[in-house]
Chains A and B, each alone.
Chain A
Amino acid sequence: MRTTTSKPKYTWQILVIVITVFILGLNAIPTLYGNNNALLVSVIKPSQTQANTQQIAGAQQLPSPIQLPSVQRLRKVMQQADIQVKQIITNNTDSKIVIEGDDEALLRAQQQLKNTLSDAYQVRLGSQSAAPSWLQELGMAPIKLGLDLSGGVLFVLEVDTNKADQERLGNVKDQILQLIHDQGLRGVSVKIAASNNTSEGNGAMTLQFSPQQATQVKSLINELRQELPDINYTKTSERNASLVFTEQSINTFHQEIMAQALTTLRGRIAELGITEAVTQRQGKNRIRIELPGVKDPEQAKRIIGATASLDFYELASSDTMGAKNFSDEDGRHLTVAPKPIFSGSNIENANAGRDELGMALVNLALDGLGGKRMSEFSKANIGKPMVTVFSEYYKNTNNELVKSSKVISVATIQSQLGNRFSITNLSSPQAAADLALLLRAGSLDAPISIVQQRTIQASLGQENVGNGMMALSIGLSITLLFMALWYRKLGLIANASLVLNLVCLLGLMALLPNVVLTLPGIAGLVLTVGMAVDTNVLIFERIKEERLRGRSNFMAIETGYKEAFATILDANITTMITALILLSIGYGPVKGFAMTLSLGILTSMFTGVFVAHVLTYLVKPQIRIKQQEQI
């Protein structure tokens, strides 16, 4: 705080204000223009179009690499659908067609493009800022709108980490059984303790053996721990021992599962052609997905909620230790090796197609490891069958997640295979397309279930924007009018700083990533307008009092600003505390409100104290006082 009483110049203050308001103001402008609907046309991943696919059965001809359609062609297609094109932006990977018109026109345009262009192209929906291009080139974008303003679908998914724990224990059990078998330890048994959902859910494993076998079991465990150092071995009695994963290992495992689930879900959303989705972790084991502008929630639900995985097995005789049993569609029982040759995670790419008989199939491309395993396996097993098992989690009538596995194909290996081959004999083209999509996006090891879902129609979103803006403009007008009438010249200063406050707040919201404007956010904005004048009122009342005490005009203003500051700070800190608490607990609507409230406190402090002070100095209002106001 300055303590000098000589008239200050305020040069640097003015400079700071002009620069800040200029930058934030520029950021606020694109929001006023809003967004235009746009379509993104891209070529489906080039690796899928290379034609060197080997197949287990059947052959398929794939088209040669393709180019993006020319701008003229796209314009013509749009003309056919009677849609006004504003702009076409083409870069290396995709063409963005910015169109005029609402969502209905957008869908019509998408349909038209899909019908006209070949299957090799993907048409996704998106949006493009409607602001002048020079603003866009500066990297300025409009404020992102929440689902309640833009319309769309919200999912909150829960990742079942308990199930994943059990799955992992099951794998360890198979491994131990294998070791027991290899070392010829007869009579040693492994059991997974039933996990009770009330506790941590991390079931333990118990080993039972006869006392003479203790040393051999010890060496078995040592061998196991070379592979799995995170497992703890405790001997509980002469005949029993327990095996548990360490707390830390379980935590890391859960973190990995969540990270995998997030990546996979992001991949699936990208596959669905949604460009502006928000995917974030919510709490310990939930994932929040916001899909603005999704018109078909059922498809989104089917793809996002699916927990499909694919494993490829070698047939085995029924007496193999740890062998797994599956049954195929005809009810035949098949016994396969305990460990798959490779699993869905080794799949690099997958796309749906048809064989020469018109049957649906999925073409697969494996990664290096999967390719190597496949090559080795097929070389050694020509003429023998390979079993493809498709597993999925579903909810049974008791609302419990159950894993169901079914054999989708038993194919005879004709020749040594590389990293490319096909799964044939799928029931329908839709099934093939869904399977290909799921395999492309990666599999989920832990089952997920939808715990919250919301679908908001775009028309409701527009209505909400209209209502919010109406409330904002009316609230703002009343406040501006009142301040101008009550405080006259000082009121104009308050009004100027209030408008600047709103500009700075909008600019800040557009500038900061992760800030989304929602309907409660607009309410927070309106509330900020009503409460921001408090700062000015406190100061002006103080100035009036100082004048009553007989101070000069200039001194009264200076003392007023100085004395009121401590009170203003106190008042704003308390509001800030509540806003921060709201931010920490809230998701969705509460978060939007807390966000604008807390940012509003920052900007109103800046404009109410700093900007208004400088403005008062520049305007030099004469504060006249009536003697009867004296208390």
Chain B
Amino acid sequence: MNTTPLTTFSKYRLAGFYLAIGLIVLSLIGLGTKGLNLGLDFSGGYMTEFTTSQSIAKSQMQSQLASQLSADFELSSSAGNTQWTLRQADGVADVIDKTWLTTFASQSGFDITPQDSVYIGSQVGAELIDNGSLALLVAAIAMMLYLTWRFEWRLACGSLVALVHDVIVVLGLFAWLGLPFDLTVLASVLAIIGYSLNDSIIIGDRLREVMRAKNNMSMSDLVDTAIKSTMTRSLITSGTTLATISAIWIFGGQPLQGFAIGLFAGVVFGTLSSVAVSATIPQLIGLKPEFYQQRAQALLVNDEP
């Protein structure tokens, strides 16, 4: 395969391929050591959100709450210590509700407005983990079936590795940064699966086409040609998609933050993997242009001229 010297583009492509492998390893380490910070959707429990009209030091709020609440809780704040999120585990004795907050407001002297309160039974959360993992698995299998039907198995394999790369790297990112992994992030991961395949298929389609047309080039050059000719498209689509995701990230408010981060990372790594992984793998596991030329001949009878 390496009979002809590699072009600069091929070198970059291979470098990208090794980078992708490195990222997978790094992500797996993160997932193994730190694990995902499962959000309320999966862990179950209570979450209460409220705002205060003035900025209050977090330590002050923490001690005020601790003096009123007998049970354990977790406090976080945003928007300059005016937006507060309180989390409690399922089954605690002291549950915060609207009346509790009103009493707390009058006792502490803070001006408190309740915003959102959520209770999710731990049973529901556990079920959701099962359903979520099942959905990821079913999605991967459905994709593989569709791809093997549509493409040659080596091409399908390349797209699948790219897809697994994207999912693992996004999960790894969430593990390393300790960002809460909730239902919307799961949705973004599933959306990434679709997006990643989208990219891989377009490159695969083109690779198939150049393999049919040109048999005087080395496999490496054919892959380069396919990637180069779809490069403009890949960059434009990733660009507009990233621009809209940034709009969600910046303006969509707190509830969509995790979703936007997941998608953003997914599109960035998805573009990398579709360029560097999805077409490189078939080359490495021995896809030859002869395969499609023979096939094209065999199909010539049925094909449109």
Q: Which residues of A contact B (CB under 8 A)?
A: 3, 148, 156, 158, 297-298, 399, 450-457, 459-460, 463-464, 467-468, 470-472, 474-476, 478-479, 482-483, 486, 519-520, 522-523, 526-527, 529-531, 533-534, 537-538, 541, 545, 566-567, 570-571, 573-575, 577-579, 581-582, 584-586, 588-590, 593-594, 597, 631
B115 and A527 contacting across the interface, CB-CB below 8 Å: no
Q: Which of A451, A471, A475 contacts B123 (CB under 8 A)?
A: A451
Ranked 5 nearest A-B pairs via Cβ? A530-B244, A475-B244, A467-B253, A451-B121, A578-B194
Residues of chain B within 8 A (CB-CB) of A538 are: 202, 233
Proximity string of chain B (258-290) to chain A, C-beta cutoff 8 Å, 1 when within and 0 when not: 011001000000000000000000000000000
Q: Which residues of A contact B124 (CB under 8 A)?
A: 156, 451-452
Give the residues from 103 to 123 in chain B that come closer than 8 angstroms, CB to CB, to chain A: 113-121, 123
Residue among A463, A529, A531 with the most chain B CB within 10 A?
A531
**Closest residue to B50 on the A side, CB-wise?**
A457
Asked whether B119 lies within 8 Å of A452 as measured between CB atoms, the reply is yes
B115 touches A459 (CB 8 A): yes
> In the complex, given contacts A455-B98, A467-B253, A581-B138, what are 18 additional A-B residue pairs having Cβ atoms less than 8 angstroms apart?
A148-B255, A298-B97, A453-B117, A457-B114, A459-B115, A464-B253, A475-B248, A479-B244, A482-B240, A520-B256, A527-B241, A530-B243, A530-B244, A531-B241, A533-B236, A541-B230, A575-B195, A593-B191
CB within 8 Å for A570 and B205 given contacts A460-B116, A470-B251: yes
Of the A-B pairs whose beta carbons lie under 8 Å apart in the complex, a sample of 27, sorted by A's number, is: A148-B255, A158-B121, A451-B120, A460-B115, A460-B116, A464-B253, A468-B253, A471-B247, A471-B248, A475-B243, A479-B244, A482-B236, A482-B239, A526-B245, A531-B195, A533-B236, A533-B237, A538-B233, A541-B233, A570-B150, A578-B143, A578-B190, A585-B131, A585-B135, A589-B184, A590-B183, A590-B187
A588 / chain B contacts, CB cutoff of 8 Å: 183
Q: Could you mark each residue 143-162 of chain B with 1 if its beta carbon is under 8 Å from any beta carbon of chain A, else 0? A: 10010001000000000000
Contact A581 B190, CB 8 Å, known A474-B251, A538-B202, A567-B205: yes
> In the complex the two chains form, is B201's CB within 8 Å of A570's CB?
yes
The answer to whether A577 touches B201, judged by C-beta atoms less than 8 angstroms apart, is: no
Shortest distance from the beta carbon of B22 to any chain A beta carbon, whole Å: 27
In the complex, chain A residues whose CB is within 8 Å of the CB of B233: 534, 537-538, 541
Residues of B within 8 A of A478 (CB): 240, 243-244, 247
A571 to B143, CA, bound (A): 11
Q: Tell me the smallest distance from the CB of A176 to a CB of chain B, in Å.
A: 35
Name the CB-closest residue of B to A286.
B124
Is A581 touching B142 in the complex (CB atoms < 8 A)? yes
Assembly CA distance A482 to B201 (angstroms): 25
B186 and A457 contact, CB distance less than 8 A:
no
Complex Cα distance, B253 from A531, in Å, reads 21
Q: Does B232 lie within 8 Å of A541, measured CB to CB?
A: yes
B184, B202, B240: the one contacting A571 at CB < 8 Å is B202
Say which residue of A3, A578, A593 sits within 8 Å of B193 (CB atoms). A578
A457 to B112, CA, bound (A): 13
Q: Are B198 and A534 in contact (CB under 8 A)?
A: yes
Q: How far is the CA of A471 from the CA of B257 in the complex (A)?
A: 12
| Complex Cα gap A172–B118 (Å) | 41
Complex contact A520–B259 (CB within 8 A): yes
Whether B252 sits at the interface, judged by CB under 8 Å, is yes
Check A453 against B119 for contact (C-beta < 8 Å).
Answer: yes
Closest to B193 in A: A578
Partner of B253, one of A463, A472, A537, A571: A463
Report the Cα distance A467→B255, complex, angstroms: 10
A3, A474, A476, A597 interface centre (most CB from chain B within 10 Å): A474
Interface residues of B in 216-244 (CB under 8 A from A): 225, 228-230, 232-233, 236-237, 239-244
Q: How far is the CA of A463 from the CA of B254 in the complex (A)?
A: 11
Contact of A527 among B123, B150, B198, B244 (CB under 8 A): B244
Mostly helix, strand, loop or mixed at chain A's interface?
helix
Residue of A nearest to B145 (CB): A577
- The one of A534, A566, A582 in contact with B190, judged by C-beta atoms closer than 8 angstroms, is A582
B187 adjacent to A593 (CB under 8 Å): yes
Q: Does B139 contact A (CB under 8 A)?
A: yes
Is the Cβ of A530 less than 8 Å from the Cβ of B245?
A: yes
Residue of A nearest to B48 (CB): A455
A527 pairs with B245, CB closer than 8 A? yes
Q: B91 at interface (Cβ–Cβ under 8 A)?
A: yes
Give B198 Cβ to nearest chain A Cβ, in Å. 4
Q: Which of A463, A519, A566 contacts B256 (CB 8 A)?
A: A519
Q: In whole angstroms, what is the CA distance A533 to B236 when docked?
A: 9
Which residues of chain B from 63 to 113 have any CB-CB distance to chain A below 8 Å in the complex? 91, 97-98, 113
Cβ A454 vs Cβ B118 within 8 A: yes
Q: A483 to B244, alpha carbons, bound, how many Å?
A: 13
Q: Does B20 contact A (CB under 8 A)?
A: no
Q: Is the CB of A452 within 8 A of B121?
A: yes
Task: Give, as a whole number of angstroms, the nearest-CB distance from A400 to chain B.
Answer: 13
Q: Does B197 contact A (CB under 8 A)?
A: yes
Beta-carbon contact of A577 and B143 below 8 Å: yes
Cβ distance B127 to chain A, nearest Cβ, rounded Å = 8
CA–CA, A483 to B243, complex, Å? 12
- B35 contacts A by Cβ under 8 Å: no
- State in angstroms the CA–CA spacing of A526 and B134 once bound together: 27
Q: How far is the CB of A402 from chain B (nearest CB, A)?
A: 17
Let me know if B16 is at the binding interface, CB within 8 A: no
* CB–CB B198/A574 < 8 A: yes
**A residues in contact with B252, CB < 8 Å:** 467-468, 470-471, 519, 522-523, 526
- Contact A519 B255, beta carbon cutoff 8 Å: yes
User: Which residue in A453, A457, A585 is a CB contact (below 8 Å) of B118?
Assistant: A453
- The reply to whether A579 and B194 contact each other, CB–CB distance below 8 Å, is yes
The distance from the CB of B201 to the nearest CB of chain A, in whole angstroms, is 5
Smallest Cβ-Cβ distance to B229: which chain A residue: A631
In the bound complex, what is the Cα–Cα distance between A441 and B187 (angstroms)? Answer: 38
Q: How far is the CA of A594 from the CA of B139 in the complex (A)?
A: 14
Quick check: A577 and B194 within 8 Å, CB to CB? Answer: yes
Q: Which residues of A contact B259 (CB under 8 A)?
A: 520, 523
